[in-house]
Amino acid sequence: MFEYDFMRNAFAAAAIVGVVAGMVGYFLVLRSQTFAGHALAHVGFTGATGAVLIGIAPLWGLAGMTVAAGIGMGLVGERLAQRDVAVGLVLALSLGLGLLFLHFYQSFATQATALLFGNVLAVDESTIWALLGLGLLSLGGLAAISRPLLFASLQPELAEAKGVSLRLYAVMFLAIVALTTAECAQIVGVLLVFALMVGPAAAAQQLTTSVLSGLLLSALLAVAEAWLGIALAFYSDWPTSFWISTLSVAIYLLALVPGRWRGASAFSH
């Protein structure tokens, strides 16, 4: 399997994206903003199709459009009720633009399918370097805001009383989520971004209550799912994104078992 350059590129890209998606996804699940991540994925498709129309690489259209949408969502509202309205409005606008772009994009059906469902086996060396740069930017930004972001996520009222700007950190965090979404789309496509950003993080939070352990475990699970998915795709000739999404769901369901067992044991006592 590793005799082929495209397979080595796929594993390298999956490692980068898995680490970033796992760590950013941990905060996304912790803050109950998975709907925002889902919306940003669809926004990314609009950005990618728009980029192809004007002749630039889809990755940069993905990144630019998702970052703009993430900042917009953060500015419109931080509290739950406002947040859902903001996400819904941005999603509706992006889908409308996406429909317009697809009207002019009909002759590129193969490229559109790759954007929707991902094609990690087509990642080249230049894309790996681009993913590494975006990944370092995302992790650097997350590290810079992690402490106040955690405070604002767990105790928003107290954090606001202490002078922490909920809106500011919401904007910065969603910009980081946007960059991560653009990266994940290169591996699993915009429709299955949840597979790497939500599944591993949700499983990690079922298995440990420690934030540091949860972040590391989430990243480890994301990389493992991506690598195993690529290997299974190579030997089965089934789509990589199918395997990654299936593994993500399976691992999350397995992570629920210890909690259910502990609950049943406590009930019996």
The string of pLDDT tens digits covering residues 67-125 is 888 887 777 655 544 556 666 777 777 777 767 776 676 555 556 566 666 678 778 88
pLDDT of 222 > 90? The answer is: yes
Angle at CA of residue 140, ends 148 and 66, nearest 5°? 90
pLDDT of amino acid 116: 64
Q: How confident is the model at residue 267 (pLDDT cuts 50, 70, 90)?
A: very low
Class of domain 5-193: mainly alpha
pLDDT of amino acid 266: 45
| Mean pLDDT across 141-164 | 89
pLDDT of amino acid 216: 96
Residues with Cβ within 8 Å of residue 175, at least 6 apart in sequence: 67, 70, 71, 74, 141
Tell me which residue has tokens 């799912």.
Answer: 225
Beta strands in the chain (DSSP E): none
Q: What gap in Å lies between CA 16 and CA 111, rounded to an integer?
A: 23
| Mean pLDDT across 124-132 | 89
pLDDT of amino acid 107: 53
Q: What gap in Å lies between CA 70 and CA 36, rounded to an integer?
A: 8
**Higher-scoring residue by pLDDT: 234, 78:** 234
Q: How confident is the model at residue 219 (pLDDT cuts 50, 70, 90)?
A: very high
Q: What gap in Å lies between CA 228 and CA 234, rounded to an integer?
A: 10
Region class of 210: left (phi > 0), else alpha (psi between -120 and 50), else beta: beta
pLDDT of amino acid 191: 64
pLDDT of 265 > 70? The answer is: no
Mean pLDDT of the chain: 82
33 φ/ψ angles, rounded to the nearest 5 degrees: -115, 30
Whole-number percent of the chain with pLDDT over 90:
35
**Higher-scoring residue by pLDDT: 88, 23:** 23
| Mean pLDDT across 175-188 | 82
Give me the residue spans of the domains in the chain: 5-193
pLDDT of 45 > 60? The answer is: yes
pLDDT of amino acid 231: 94
**Higher-scoring residue by pLDDT: 230, 43:** 230
Closest-CA residue to 133 (of 71, 56, 63, 205): 63
